[in-house]
Amino acid sequence: MADAEGGGSKVVRGLGIAVLVVAAIVLLVVFWRQVLDLLRSIGTYVQDHIPADNGQKAAVLVYLIIAVLLSILFSKAGHFTAYGVAMALVPLLWFLFWEGVPALNLNPTWTSSLGVGHLAPQDVILWAVVADVLITIVFVPLELWEKMRRRRHRLGGGDDD
């Protein structure tokens, strides 16, 4: 059986987290203009790579919705291992949908049977990254909320639903 973490290591971990948060805030304050410019350029890049074909747009939209739904579903598993599974599974299935597995002679004929033109590989990668960002934005707050609720319940506090 594993030993429980001692109080000293919890304090040190808390101090480390506090130092990292303050460092991140200082860096954000110092470089806020560059961060804002970076976020704008990322937004412009993503916007410029929205597919022109309606079928491709629909496929990307359905994919992003599935990514959000899977992140909610995986958050119910209650641990960050599920987050890792979602972060890998969603993009891998996306790549399989668009690219297949050429080494195994598995070609994505389902895209043409759906009437969807092939999406360029760089756009497949871009939307996989966007989906992973969405998974993170949805999963991490849900997981932290659940951990807070479990801790509050364990400490004898009320249960928020």
pLDDT digits (tens, 9 = 90+) for 139-156: 888 888 877 877 777 777
Establish if 40 belongs to a structural domain.
no
As for how many domains the chain has, the answer is 1
Establish if 89 belongs to a structural domain.
yes
Give the range of the structural domain holding residue 95, as residue numbers without chain letter: 52-154
Establish if 31 belongs to a structural domain.
no
Establish if 132 belongs to a structural domain.
yes
Average model confidence (pLDDT) for the chain? Answer: 82
Kindly report the length of the chain: 161
pLDDT digits (tens, 9 = 90+) for 15-48: 888 899 999 999 888 888 998 998 899 889 888 8
Is the full-model pTM beyond 0.85? no
* pLDDT score for 1: 47
- Angle, helix 121-154 to helix 80-99, in steps of 10 degrees: 160
Establish if 37 belongs to a structural domain.
no
* pLDDT score for 4: 61
pLDDT digits (tens, 9 = 90+) for 74-100: 777 767 778 888 888 889 888 888 877
CA–CA distance, 148 with 142 (Å, rounded to integer): 10
99 Cβ contact list (under 8 Å, min separation 6): 108, 121, 124
Establish if 161 belongs to a structural domain.
no
